Chain A
Amino acid sequence: MLRGHRCAIWLAALILAACGGGGGSADSSNSGVDGASAGSLYAAGGANVVAITVGPGPGGSSTFNIPYTSVTICGTGTSSCATIDHVLVDTGSTGLRLMASVLAGIALTPQADPSNSANVIAECLPFADGYAWGVVANAAVSIGGESASDVPIHVIDDNGSFAPPVPASCSTYGASLNSVSAFGANGVLGIGLFSQDCGTYCAQSNGNSDWYYSCTSTRCTAAIEALDSQVTNPVALLANDNNGVIIQLPALSASGATTASGYLVFGIGTESNNGLGSATVLTVNPETGDFTTIYGGHTLNGGFIDSGSNSLFFTDATIPDCPSSVGAEFYCPAATLDLTASDQGQNGNTSTVSFQIANLSVRNTANFALDDVGGTASTIAWLGTDYFDWGVPFFYGRTVYTAIEGKAAGSATGPYFAF
């Protein structure tokens, strides 16, 4: 620990695996975020199409660039249902998580621990800045015209309805994110690259993953959670259209818009309205979900496309930060900057992305949809210059495909992003 003594475990050397894409690349120069030809947005109303809105959050949340949709949830085998609005659409996580406070009256039964049926299963999901904690329950989930009858979901305990104290091995991840205000949303619809949120690590027989717990009414201890019981990407459990999603948000003017309306489309290449077309497929590292972004002369092996980030986040020491009154993590250049980066998949495909970063301090605060927002990646040196978070501004004026691991999707197999 910091200020402590030497750790007991030594490794003589640490060899970092070489990362990055292969040789020959198919270069496709995309038009930029601004002035992009958005292509035609899907007509609303298809069974596999549901609306997304970027706009004000629940409870008057003022955070910009959060894409929301609505999810209908029912206790399995019951007619106890509710439609939850303002659920964050997140390509950077996996699984449906809803605040307990918005599920009042829905008869959800927590999973029983298969090795001790008197206990229930809870989850501690780590984020970079903290954790979300609550029981795991199976539910019927409907989104637009798509539904799955038995989906393990996470019920985030934002109202103290789950009695056991948060285990120390969970709170060690940092601050509690158990609130509508922490997410600016009533829940998170994680529709990212993976089928389960944790994967084989949490299902290993040696257990102690610190993600899943077996709980009495007073105490929780770390538990093994089988893959098919883990909080699961609802898309992967659809009868059809289960190999991934497409997100489309409209192109915006430089000043943004009060709100933006787009679409979430289920399936890739499974219907007449969800083909890959001419999109460039960037396969990702199957363990991390990242591709390579080349920016400012640096090759960053942590490139990812994330509708759960409200800004582009990347390190460029030449761009001034905003004053703390605006948010010191964001960029406030004197004049709007025209920038370029290159995204490269493990398959060697490359796509050039042009984007703009404007001065956030002069934005119209009535606008919740902003496409020229950037901010500093939080770390530097070997850890930090190695990621580029392509957040919501990347989605404006684009059709973005997220294909789930191991699933054939169009001409390629997930996990991949395409745009």
Chain B
Amino acid sequence: MQQYAMHVITAASGTIVREYASPDDRVFAITWRGPTPPDLRTLLGEYFTPYLNASASTVQARAGAHRQLSVAQPDLVVQAAGHARAFRGRAFVPSLIPTGVLIDALP
């Protein structure tokens, strides 16, 4: 039994987004890389506002580092990095990861 399905979306910019869905069709992780960041509001869905709340205070405290950001909360992890024309990142919901799936080993 396959543990998850991977769907790939290529944006007009060339940015590639991968969504990882569990057998019950819930997306538990997304990754992206490409010349521009993806539409995080759409991709994160209900998690976008918690992400913003967590990141807004962080960026003010990290004036010297706009090339990466990490948000790690019990039910949401967002890791974004890169510079103009080369962005990359991932987001996942730990509680939605199917049993037996290693988040760091996703292809």
Contact = CB atoms under 8 A, between A and B. Distances in A.
A287 B85 contact: yes
A288 B86 contact: yes
A41 interface: no
The number of chain A residues touching the other chain, given as a range, is: 35 or more
Nearest to B96: A3
Contacts, number: 243
Contact of B89 (A65, A93, A168, A379): A379
A128 B37 contact: yes
The number of chain B residues touching the other chain, given as a range, is: 35 or more
A168 to B, nearest CB: 7
B26 to A, nearest CB: 6
A387 interface: yes
B106 interface: yes
Contacts of A64: 64
Interface string A1-42: 111111101110010000000000000000000000000000
A129 B83 contact: no
Contact of B104 (A308, A329, A381): A381
Q: Chain B binding site: helix, strand, loop or mixed by DSSP?
A: mixed
A190 to B, nearest CB: 8
Q: Which 9 A/B pairs are nearest by Cβ-Cβ distance?
A: A310-B64, A184-B63, A1-B45, A129-B69, A288-B86, A378-B68, A379-B79, A172-B41, A63-B63
27 contacts: A2-B46, A2-B91, A4-B45, A5-B26, A5-B27, A7-B7, A11-B8, A63-B64, A66-B63, A94-B84, A127-B67, A129-B68, A172-B41, A176-B56, A182-B59, A182-B66, A183-B66, A209-B36, A290-B86, A304-B86, A306-B67, A311-B64, A379-B89, A381-B105, A384-B79, A387-B82, A389-B67
Interface of B: 5, 7-10, 12-14, 16, 18-19, 21, 25-31, 33, 35-37, 39-48, 51-52, 55-56, 58-60, 62-70, 79-93, 96, 103-107
